[in-house]
Structure 1
């Protein structure tokens, strides 16, 4: 039995759903963006380990790329299986617990433990991405189309607030640890444990109060193999009818291209600030905290604009901001110019990511939310493979020239903007209704 929200879900469920964005944002900010990635590049796989300049950045990019390759291989099929068996919440719980456990293992990483660290980075990032897909798949069940932009924007904004709180707590601890004479090898593991605790506790309301409204298929098969066959069959049916959902697939292509730029910035921003602009760890954390504030504001404000003026128009505006931000970062030589670019990135990031989630929700037929958001996850994670890897290889090829590497991200946003013009939002929404 399929389900599509006609009215907003009860407030307790909406808050519980949004709190998951709050919960998992610490992983993004601490592990992928501000602290652990620079620790990996500078200490675990730094020049002190006997590696050539740029190799640490390349290895980090490879780890993130491999984790996203795993998501590429599994996301659509897992989504189709979850829709048929009505098990989105169960898969979300397993992926969340797995991510928390593997992230905790990073607290035991250190200099020269490159393979150990990469294994748990790959595993935790894979499970993090999988959980992102499944929490997003609940959006069409808790919000009718007219409110999706606002609800998605509020949740994404709350996520940035969560990231800000976790990062702020980590900064306070780092400053305390430095006052005691501790180095990064002592304080970075503690920041990982802070992240894990907040992730686990803040995610609890999601599992206590968010309801699984989808009903399982009429005949439930037995065994993983049978479910996997059903998953592939549903994906094949969707691809067979791709012309009916052509605006969805056009948007997914545009999302993949401009997403390459977004994920490059997410993964590399702190590394760029450290290597190209000379930021210390404290400087980088403060910058990321401020950017989280502007990103939250961007998600909140543009979330309201989306429902009034259309998601596509809002996304066009955010991509123009992205182009201005990357251009500013590339030409800027001073820290002041870089700060301006960073805050433009924050506004654009919060709006573009929440808007993409909302547009997929509008293009999703009833009863197929996990499958279609699996395709959304596939597109996002494909971009998370290509974008950072391209940056990593350019950095390695140029002997650590981050300014040349960041210029490549500008192309992704320009081409993504051109592809977005091919998407017809009204026609895509009609196709979703017909496909119910």
Structure 2
């Protein structure tokens, strides 16, 4: 390889060992602590409580705050702040993640890039410990930074699946990694549940127990990221075409993005899958990000009850991810994901009818979510990996992350708007059904084997 141009490649026999596959899965374990404890359970209701303390400081506990917050001069309902914050984070991600993918494909050591992005997000997550009183503005900023870093690191991480697993192994490797993530997130959540249930006995205030839980998620994310970074350290960057080093990182990145956008028309099945994923994943992400808010505000459950709920979901999802990976061996990833989408629609419909305060019925709903959540996400990742052209793994997975987080603001925005218009979270949760229906219909139209051939990849036995 010359000093000016060249192709960076790594020996595939070195990368596709079981040791590399095990190291790969640990990043799901690392970031799931933040996704579960902070993103799913604590930050939405806690951010709402901080905003309520600012807008209605003298309001009795449990009363509705009718005041509006002023965010850049725009009046925002207190109950809409959390979903709008997630919306802002995902819109910003949409503008950034494509560049992360292009840079990652040009980076000689993608695992170091993964570590840098992950540790930046972990620092922002850890700083949430300092959220207290009514400083919701700091909370909004930290959520945006942490979510952006999470999505950016996931671009690099997801692309590594192609480097560590053969086509016939990707459903299994991806499903096991997702399962490991749910197990890790569940373990930390169980610890945090204990702290929030018995805070008085261990000498803490309830607010301090929440703040320490936020801190623990950030530390967990940062510390366990060392395992995949060092375990995959021998993996080098790869690019499908010679790279003009004289263009520099910024110029070369823009040039590569321009080339990729021009080439997209060569991969119509990949594009159709991304469009389908945009819709059904919007539904998934909206349910995940809004479940805690729906449970506390619409159904009247305490934060500790929501932690029990998500804890149940985590451990059920551990088994669900492995189950979906097993089923995919016989049905193929596409059909198994379609089954998952149908089950998601049924679960959301069931959640709409859960009576206020009926915690047992709510837990039954949580079991349904757990069964389908991990499996649909894990198999979507492995299915998409078959449709990615060699050498542009990170760049194409940046499109995937744009659909996963960068455009999932459609769902959270719709959820927030319906609440602002109706003042009720029940009709807001129903809006997610439309995303599942449209995404499922589009996915049925994807001709996977044709897309694999268009991308120039080897055909797996079952798709």
> What interval of TM-score do these two structures reach, taking the shorter chain for normalisation?
over 0.9
Would you say 1:131 and 2:137 are equivalent positions?
A: no
Residue in 1 that maps onto 2:410: 386
**Post-superposition shift, 1:152?**
0.2
Give the CA RMSD over aligned residues: 2.2
Among 215, 218, 221, which residue is 1:199 paired with? 221
The CA distance in 2 between the partners of 1:329 and 1:48, in whole Å, is 31
Q: Give the SS at the match of 2:265.
A: coil
**Post-superposition shift, 1:7?**
9.0
The CA distance in 2 between the partners of 1:6 and 1:68, in whole Å, is 37
Cα deviation digits, residues 292-336 of structure 1 (max 9, x gap): 111111111112322432211111000011011011111232433
Q: Give the SS at the match of 2:446.
A: coil
Among 91, 100, 106, which residue is 1:78 paired with? 100
Residue in 2 that maps onto 1:22: 29
**Post-superposition shift, 1:40?**
1.4
Would you say 1:425 and 2:431 are equivalent positions?
A: no
Residue in 2 that maps onto 1:100: 122
Q: Give the SS at the match of 1:364.
A: coil
Say whether the 8 Å CA contact 1:5–1:143 is kept in structure 2: no
Say whether the 8 Å CA contact 2:54–2:134 is kept in structure 1: no
Unaligned runs of 5+ in 2: 1-6, 57-64, 68-75, 459-463
Structure with higher Rg: it is 2
Cα deviation digits, residues 194-231 of structure 1 (max 9, x gap): 212222221111111113233467555368xx323332
Between Structure 1 and Structure 2, the one with more helix by share is 1
Among 275, 279, 282, which residue is 2:297 paired with? 275
The CA distance in 2 between the partners of 1:239 and 1:11, in whole Å, is 35
**Post-superposition shift, 1:8?**
7.2
Say whether the 8 Å CA contact 2:94–2:407 is kept in structure 1: no
Say whether the 8 Å CA contact 1:26–1:199 is kept in structure 2: yes
Unaligned runs of 5+ in 1: none
Cα deviation digits, residues 343-384 of structure 1 (max 9, x gap): 211111111111111111111122111011111011112332
**Post-superposition shift, 1:169?**
0.8
Cα deviation digits, residues 175-210 of structure 1 (max 9, x gap): 231335744322111112221222222111111111
The CA distance in 2 between the partners of 1:38 and 1:318, in whole Å, is 28
Residue in 2 that maps onto 1:12: 19
Say whether the 8 Å CA contact 2:415–2:431 is kept in structure 1: yes
Say whether the 8 Å CA contact 1:177–1:187 is kept in structure 2: yes
- TM-score, normalised with respect to structure 1: 0.93
Cα deviation digits, residues 12-48 of structure 1 (max 9, x gap): 221111011001101011111112222111x211266
How many correspondences in the alignment?
Answer: 431
